[in-house]
Amino acid sequence: MSQTVDPCFEKRLAEAAARLETGLSDALSGTAFLVAGAPERLLAAMRHGALDGGKRLRPFLVEESARLFGVEASRAAPVAQALELVHCYSLVHDDLPAMDDDDLRRGRPTVHRAYDEATAILAGDALLTLAFGLIADGAAPGEADARLTLIRLLSREAGAAGMAGGQALDLAAETATLDEVEIARMQAMKTGALIAFAAEAGAILAGASPADRQALRRFGEIVGLAFQLADDLLDETADAATLGKAAGKDASRGKKTLPALRGIDWTRAELDRLVAEAEGLLEPFGERAATLRETARFVARRSR
């Protein structure tokens, strides 16, 4: 398995992030139908929680999985934006004092620190609410069924059986010790579900075959596993300056991660294995899947 990376990849990722940023900023402007008339302070808190954020991996996966089936980025944009809003709302709520109680996120004050707790709860609620509106808005002729499928699936992956459920299990882990199987289940729900959805979403939008849709979903699940492992490894090895948030936080709360249980060498080998599996899943798509392959490598490499 090659660890070399296409020099254009990070440029492509950054361009997609910039497009996403513009789209989200438009969706959160005071003139957008879905939020026009919102109280200014609430809208500002929503923007604080959603804009200027991270690498935007999930929307990038939506765009690239759509492109794999010939769907252009502009058609995938509402779904990409919606998914990122769901991710952002979850960060706003996870940071709350009753949850992870974090003061910093990407080096900036969290929403409840920059505003207040009630506003952060409502801003998260409103971001989640907006996400579903974006997918429902502006469907092209013939696209309505795919949009409904995406909403239904996002509801499952983001809800009690997916991300929100995973966060509930993660919080429970502060007082109970999870074994490896339970950790894997928690992480598959908390982090994996949205990433798997991202990779599957493009195939759904394109009306791809069930087999192709399944391959993309499995690819997304593996990328999600690699993402979480790399993140936990980073938490084991890096300091706060690199992370933009408190390092070693999971460990200090008694939460076990796989890198903590299995060691750094095992984790690096497992990351290599996951990348190889992800690449194998994309083989039938040939060169068209080059960027998705790079994405898997990129995600695993974050920890190095």
| Subset of 61-80 contacting a second copy (CB under 8 A) | none
| CB closer to a second copy out of 110 and 295 | 110
> Where does this chain touch a second copy (CB under 8 A) — which range of 28-36, 239-247, 265-273, 279-287?
28-36
Cα angle, residue 15 at apex, residues 125 and 140 outer, rounded to 5°: 60
Q: Which residue has the tokens 């690498």?
A: 55
Q: From the list 1, 51, 98, 238, which residue makes contact with a second copy (rule: CB under 8 A)?
A: 98
User: Token match 């750094």: residue?
Assistant: 264
Q: What number of chain residues touch a second copy (CB under 8 A)?
A: 58
Asked whether position 109 contacts a second copy by CB under 8 A, the answer is: no
Closest separation in Å from C-beta 36 to a second copy: 6
Nearest residue to 68 (alpha-carbon basis) of 205, 197, 265, 263: 205
Between the CA of residue 106 and those of 55, 59, 240, 252, what are the distances in Å? 11, 18, 11, 20
For residue 218, the minimal CB distance to a second copy (Å) is: 18
CB of 290 vs a second copy, minimal distance in Å: 33
Residue closer to a second copy by CB (options 49, 259) is 49
User: Nearest approach, Cβ of 187 to a second copy (angstroms)?
Assistant: 14
First to last CA, the chain: 16
Least distance in angstroms from the C-beta of 272 to a second copy: 30
Q: Are strands 108-109 and 104-105 parallel, antiparallel or unpaired?
A: antiparallel
The first and second tokens of residue 149, run together, are 């499928």
CA distance 98 to 96: 5
Q: Whole-number minimum distance, CB 250 to a second copy, in Å?
A: 16
Among 17, 135, 173, 225, which residue sits at the site for a second copy (rule: CB under 8 A)?
Answer: 135
CB atoms within 10 A of CB 299: 27
Q: Least separation, in Å, of the C-beta of 238 and a second copy?
A: 27
Candidates 61-69, 111-119, 247-255, 267-275; binding stretch for a second copy (CB under 8 A)? 111-119
Helix (H), strand (E) at residue 109: strand 108-109
Q: How far is the CB of 154 from a second copy (least distance, A)?
A: 8
Smallest CA-to-CA distance from 88 within 60, 135, 44, 51 is with 51
- Mark the segment that binds a second copy (CB under 8 A) among 58-66, 89-97, 241-249, 280-288: 89-97
- Shorter beta-carbon distance to a second copy: residue 158 or 292: 158
Reduced to 3 states (helix: H, G, I; strand: E, B; else coil), residue 130 is helix
* Ordered alpha helix ranges (H), the chain: 9-27, 40-50, 57-68, 73-94, 111-114, 117-136, 144-158, 163-172, 180-187, 193-205, 210-237, 240-243, 249-252, 258-262, 264-282, 290-301
Site string for a second copy, 138-177 (x = CB under 8 A): -x----xx-xxx-xx-xxx-xxxx--xx-xxx-xx-----
Q: Binding residues for a second copy, per CB under 8 A?
A: 33-39, 41-43, 46, 89-90, 93, 96, 98-99, 116-119, 121-122, 124-126, 128-130, 132-137, 139, 144-145, 147-149, 151-152, 154-156, 158-161, 164-165, 167-169, 171-172, 189
